[in-house]
Structure 1
Amino acid sequence: MSEIKNKRILITGGAGFIGSNLCGYFLNDNQIICLDNFSTGFHHNIHNFISHPNFKLINGDIRDNEICKLAVENVDYVLHQAALGSVPRSINDPITTNDVNVSGFLNMLVAARDAKVKRFIYAASSSTYGDSETLPKIEDVIGKPLSPYAVTKYVNELYADVFAKTYGIETIGLRYFNVFGRNQDPNGAYAAVIPKFVAQFLAYESPVINGTGDFSRDFTYIDNVIQMNELAMIVEKPEAINTVYNTAFGERTTLNQLVNTLKEFLSEFDDKIKDVAIINGPNRVGDIPHSLASIEKAKQLLGYKPQFSMRDGLKETVKWYWERR
């Protein structure tokens, strides 16, 4: 149950994976404006919200200044999730990634500033840590970006910091670490690893792990991400605003461990999945070998208490996909 009541909240990318979950969480007690151009979002993610009296959909692009101005009218909070994700996508098409993630981000910041929005909370990324080998990842120790996508997400943080200092707008960036859960699309060339593997197992197809499977990630269930967005909205301590936070569980899982856990949970629904082989392929260009977040800053300044471990979240996720297969 949300602590935010009677506010007007703009969620950009609201028909996407994370955005649609945020829409659903805040909808009953607040006015929700969902802005999406459906380039990576889906109508079916927001189908249940369309007839809700508190929900408004704007079909538009954050690269359009006029759309951005329209979307922020009388808004209290912006939860900016709209972006072109995926490291491989950015390597294949850096220009479009930059247009959406940098120019679009700047459009939203300017619109929020001009509309005197109370706070601008945006999806940052663990990719910002780049070639830093320090573990766990601490917010003020980063390396050089390893992909065009990572460059764009770091530029977002720089712009947010400049706007806070220059114009007085309140901003908080949430560096998401490998978020997974309900509504995450398993299809397409740039599908994330968990929904892609689930879909392959359900079809009795062998998932392909990039490299030896020893690379590790801090896989983060969607409900922990929702909690962080809400905490970023309600915090009032000056030292907790105009900064960035790791948004994660704080636990490292290798790709081998991940795929074996998925197989374990899916086999509870379909015993044949136990026999599906796992294949190892080449490493992927631009990938960070290891990622593990320190969540101490979020705990201390926001009161963050993640509720779902990787295993707990995977169990919920597998059940969700199984019911919708």
Structure 2
Amino acid sequence: MYNIPYHTQDLSQSTFLITGGAGFIGSNIVEYLLKYGAGKVRVLDNFSTGTHANIEEFRSHPAFELIEGDIRSLETCREALQGIDFVSHQAALGSVPRSINDPITSNEVNVTGFLNMLVAARDARVKSFVYAASSSTYGDHPGLPKVEDKIGNPLSPYAVTKYVNELYASVFSKTFDFHTIGLRYFNVFGPKQNPKGPYAAVIPLFIEAALQQEAPYINGDGETSRDFTFVENAVQANVKAMLVENVKQHEVVNIAFGERTTLNQLWERINEIAGIALLAEYREERKGDVRHSLADISKAKTLINYKPAFSVHQGIQIAFHWYKNAKPIYQKL
């Protein structure tokens, strides 16, 4: 992937910290930066959800560094930020169901850990701080498409934590003149997303089912819709947001493709790619899930020149063949 560069700057003298860099989105950002000659790419990860498999190919690269540590430790955050220019903060505990089952740990990682990173990055005087926000912040607001300044009430502990991130970032901007950019991801998917475990996302679960030629479960009637976003679009957003100049306040932008796909349509598409014709099995809806989601991405286009290059259909095809070839790796996880 990443045959198209999303930057024009010379990265060879720049240093980057990717928290959660052994995770799904983080490891894809690491791959991009190393491919295009970044001077240093440091990963901070505690491997609670990230995997060694995601970064194994980078370990021999001279510009790659790994700190195995936890963002819940302020001292660890300070250590990781030494000599760093640009930060992409991806470390978090994702998943609405996980946060419902264990809200305390989600808060410790997503709120306390985030605040530690903010404080450490402010004190280290980094050039930019970009962080993973979430479309879950829109909560019960019924409007479509979702626009950054119109949000509702959060529907899960996870959504609360991600909204608190935005509040803290905004306060730091006004109080300490430390400006950050939050990327509200909309259902990112693609290579290196783990299909295993109780909190796996829907697309890797569907692809895994198709590869096994087994019917997947769909929560609800399958007409729930999402603005699924291929991971390379998210990588582009992170790179452009880290390198953008003249950000004078805290900003939040939607990162999506700008198109709605239902779960039924998603499974139909995966059936086509896999050359199978399996019907899904339906069960009750999950607590805390939003019924429909669609992003307005005009602010991201204006602020960071975001131009999503991969549609849902293109992304699913790439992801399917990646999982088909990488399957032995994930059987070991």
What TM-score bracket applies, with the shorter chain setting the length? Answer: over 0.9
Deviation at 1:266, TM superposition (A): 1.4
In structure 2, what is the equivalent of residue 103 of structure 1? 112
Partner of residue 147, structure 2: 138
Counterpart of 1:16 in structure 2 is 23
Q: Supply the AA of the counterpart residue of 2:149.
A: D
Alignment gaps of 5+ in structure 2: 328-333
Alpha-carbon contact 1:118-1:170 (below 8 Å) kept = no
8 Å contact kept, 2:258–2:295: yes
**Pairing 1:56–2:65 present:** yes
Residue 306 of structure 1 corresponds to which residue in structure 2?
308
- 2:330 matched to which residue of 1? none
Residues 110-259 of structure 1 mapped to structure 2, 5 A cutoff: 110-238=119-247, 242-259=250-267
**1:48 is paired with a residue of what secondary structure?**
helix
Quote how far apart the aligned CAs of 1:316 are: 0.7
1:59-111: CA deviation from partner (whole Å, max 9, x where unpaired):
00000111101000011111000000000000000000000000000000000
Whether 1:93 aligns to 2:93 is no
1:323 corresponds, among 309, 322, 325, to 325
Match 2:14 to one of 7, 18, 22: 7
Q: Which amino acid aligns with 1:16?
A: G
Helix, strand or coil for the counterpart of 1:14?
coil
Q: TM-score when scaled to structure 2?
A: 0.94
Post-superposition Cα deviations, 1:19-62, rounded to whole Å, max 9, x if no partner, equal 00000100141110100000000001000101111000000000
- Matching residue within 282, 287, 312 for 1:280: 282
Alignment of 1:14-53 (within 5 A): 14-28=21-35, 29-30=37-38, 31-53=40-62
Deviations 1:109-150 (A, max 9, x none): 000011111111000000000000000000000000000000
Q: Please say if residues 2 and 26 of structure 1, whose CA atoms lie closer than 8 Å, have aligned partners that are also in contact.
A: no
Determine if contact 1:118/1:169 at 8 Å carries over to the other structure.
no
CA contact under 8 A between 2:128 and 2:243: conserved in structure 1? no
SS of the residue 1:103 aligns to: helix
Unmatched 5+ stretches in structure 1 = 268-272
Deviation of the 1:237 alpha carbon: 3.7
In 1, Cα distance between equivalents of 2:197 and 2:68? 22
Structure 2 Cα separation of the partners of residues 266 and 81 of structure 1 = 31
Which shows bigger deviation, 177-186 or 164-173?
164-173
The equivalent of 2:331 in structure 1 is none
Q: In the aligned structure 2, how far is the partner of 1:106 from the partner of 1:93?
A: 20
- How far, CA to CA, are the matches of 2:29 and 2:274 in structure 1? 27
Q: Tell me by how many angstroms 1:301 deviates.
A: 2.0
- Residues of 1 paired with 2:150 and 2:49: CA distance? 31
1:173-215 Cα offsets, whole Å, 9 max, x none, are 0000000000000000000000011111211221011100111
Q: Distance in 2 between matches of 1:2 and 1:72?
A: 24
Aligned to 1:67: 76
Q: CA RMSD in A?
A: 1.0
List structure 1 segments (4+ residues) > 3 angstroms apart after TM superposition: none
State the identity %.
Answer: 59
1:2 Cα deviation from its structure 2 partner? 5.2
Aligned partner (choices 293, 296, 299) of residue 297 of structure 1? 299
Cα pair distance change 1:57/1:286, threshold 3 Å: same
TM superposition score normalised by structure 1? 0.96
**Mapped partners of 1:167, 1:301: distance in 2:** 22
Q: How far does residue 242 in structure 1 lie from its aligned partner after superposition?
A: 1.8
User: For 1:24 and 1:193, how far apart are their aligned partners in 2?
Assistant: 24
Distance in 1, Cα, partners of 2:79 & 2:247 = 29
